[in-house]
C-alpha cells in the first residue's frame, strides 16, 4: 500500500513538473517573439514624425510645411524650386514613401544624395521624350537608368507608395508593389533622402504631399 501511495505521489509530482515546464516554455517562447517584434520595430526609422521638419533641412526657395500631419511641398515665389533633405545620410537601406501629388507634377524621392550631380531619384513625374512615368530611376548626368512606361501604375487621385532598395551598387524601385527599376550603378554609394520641387511655370499648381517616410538600414 505504501509503495502504491509512493508511486501515486511520484506520478502526480511528475505531472506537475511537466505542466510547470510547459508553462515556462510557453512564457519563454512568448518573450522571444515579443523581443523579436520589438527588435524589428526598433529597426524601422520613421524619418517624418508627422508634426514638424525635425531631422530635415531645405535648400532652394520652394515651400515645405507640415499641415494636418502631412508634409507638403510647393514652388516658391516666381515658380522657385527647392529640395528637402534628411540631415542624416544612409548607405544601404530600404525606404518607403507614401505620397500623393497634385498635377502637373515633376518631383521625386532623392536617395543617396551627395551633390546635385551625385545622387539618384525615384521620380514622380510625367515625362514625354523619352516616355517616363512615376517610378522611373533618374541619375543626374545619365538621365533615366530605368524608365517606367506604364502610366496606370500610379493612382493620381489618392495615395501611392514608392519603395526604394539600395544595397551596394544594386538599386531597385517599386511603385505600388510593382517593380519599375532594377539596375546596377556606382554613381553614389551613400547620401541623404529627400524630395524635390521642380522649377517652371508649367508646374505652378504642383503639390507633393507625403504621409509617411520609413527606412530600414540593411
State the Cα–Cα distance between residues 108 and 167, nearest whole angstrom.
Answer: 20
pLDDT in tens, 127-184: 999 999 999 999 999 999 999 999 999 999 999 999 999 999 999 999 999 999 999 9
Mean pLDDT of 39-54: 86
Structure confidence at residue 40 (pLDDT): 54
Question: What are the domain boundaries of the chain?
Answer: 2-44, 47-217
In degrees to the nearest 10, what's the CA dihedral of 73, 108, 114, 56? 30
Mean pLDDT of 92-98: 98
Residue 153: closest CA among 185, 179, 188, 117: 179
State the Cα–Cα distance between residues 93 and 95, nearest whole angstrom.
Answer: 6
Q: Between residues 170 and 30, which one has the greater pLDDT?
A: 170
Phi-psi label, residue 152: left if phi above 0, alpha if psi -120 to 50, beta otherwise: alpha
Structure confidence at residue 32 (pLDDT): 52
47-217 maps to which CATH number?
2.60.120.560
Backbone phi and psi for residue 114, each to the nearest 5 degrees, phi listed first: -110, -50
State the Cα–Cα distance between residues 84 and 59, nearest whole angstrom.
Answer: 6
- The pTM (predicted TM-score) of the whole model is 0.81
Average pLDDT score, the chain: 87
Amino acid at each position: 500500500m505504501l509503495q502504491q501511495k509512493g508511486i501515486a505521489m511520484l506520478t502526480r509530482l511528475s505531472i506537475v513538473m511537466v505542466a510547470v515546464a510547459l508553462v515556462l516554455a510557453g512564457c519563454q517562447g512568448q518573450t522571444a517573439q515579443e523581443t523579436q517584434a520589438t527588435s524589428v520595430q526598433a529597426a524601422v526609422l520613421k524619418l517624418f514624425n508627422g508634426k514638424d521638419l525635425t531631422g530635415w533641412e531645405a535648400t532652394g526657395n520652394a515651400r515645405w510645411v507640415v499641415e494636418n500631419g502631412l508634409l507638403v511641398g510647393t514652388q516658391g515665389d516666381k515658380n522657385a524650386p527647392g529640395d528637402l533633405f534628411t540631415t542624416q545620410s544612409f548607405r544601404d537601406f530600404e525606404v518607403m514613401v507614401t505620397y500623393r501629388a497634385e498635377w502637373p507634377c515633376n518631383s521625386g524621392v532623392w536617395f543617396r544624395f551627395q551633390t546635385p550631380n551625385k545622387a539618384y531619384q525615384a521620380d514622380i513625374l510625367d515625362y514625354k521624350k523619352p516616355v517616363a512615368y512615376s517610378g522611373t530611376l533618374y541619375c543626374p548626368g545619365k538621365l533615366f537608368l530605368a524608365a517606367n512606361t506604364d502610366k496606370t501604375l500610379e493612382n493620381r487621385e489618392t495615395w501611392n507608395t514608392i519603395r526604394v532598395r539600395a544595397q551596394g551598387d544594386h538599386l531597385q524601385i517599386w511603385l505600388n508593389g510593382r517593380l519599375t527599376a532594377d539596375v546596377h550603378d556606382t554613381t553614389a554609394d551613400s547620401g541623404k533622402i529627400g524630395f524635390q520641387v521642380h522649377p517652371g511655370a508649367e508646374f505652378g499648381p504642383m503639390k507633393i504631399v507625403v504621409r509617411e517616410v520609413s527606412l530600414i538600414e540593411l
